[in-house]
Amino acid sequence: MPEEVGNSELLARFVFQRRHLYQDGQPKPAAFLPNSNNETSVSRVDSLSDQEIYIEGKECERRRTDNPTLYGRALVGNEVVLDLNLRTVKDEPPPRHANIVGWPLEQSEKKLIALGIAEEANGLKY
């Protein structure tokens, strides 16, 4: 059974698609939509400084094989995820990695949850 992430832990969603951020750095809902496994990949960044979060993002960028560009990050507390009836479970290695799981299958419901997370997130363009 995967270990649950703490209720109030801070999560970072690193953004590798430039169109997933608005001009002001706020994430769009698409930034949080789950992948084909119905999971959204995040990093647990509690107690990290902004600079350390950036380094963590660059580390994610380096690990990926598709030569992506890190465009920004969106921070959100796990309590937001839990309030929307999803869960975040640890998925290491790599260190700090976790997945937001429990997404519904219905498209518009997914959109509403992703929109709810995006609107509570604190986004930053790099």
Partner 1 sequence: MIRTLDLDSPIPEYRTPAVSEESRSIMDQLRDAIDSSLSTIFLGKIKMSLFSEVSEIEEECSINNWDGAGSEPISPIAITMAELLIYSFPQGIPLPELTPATDGEIHFDWRVGHKQALTASLSNNGFLSFAFIKGGRRFHGSEPFEGTFPERLSDLLNELYALKRVA
Binding site for partner 1 (CB under 8 A): 16-17, 19-20, 22, 26, 28-30, 33-37, 41, 64-66, 68, 107-109, 111-112, 114-116, 118-119
Q: Of 13 and 44, which CB lies nearer to partner 1 in the complex structure?
A: 13
Give least dist CB 44 to partner 1, A.
Answer: 18
Give least dist CB 20 to partner 1, A.
Answer: 6
According to DSSP, the β-strands at 122-125 and 40-44 are unpaired
Q: Of 7 and 35, which CB lies nearer to partner 1 in the complex structure?
A: 35
Give least dist CB 99 to partner 1, A.
Answer: 12
Give least dist CB 33 to partner 1, A.
Answer: 5
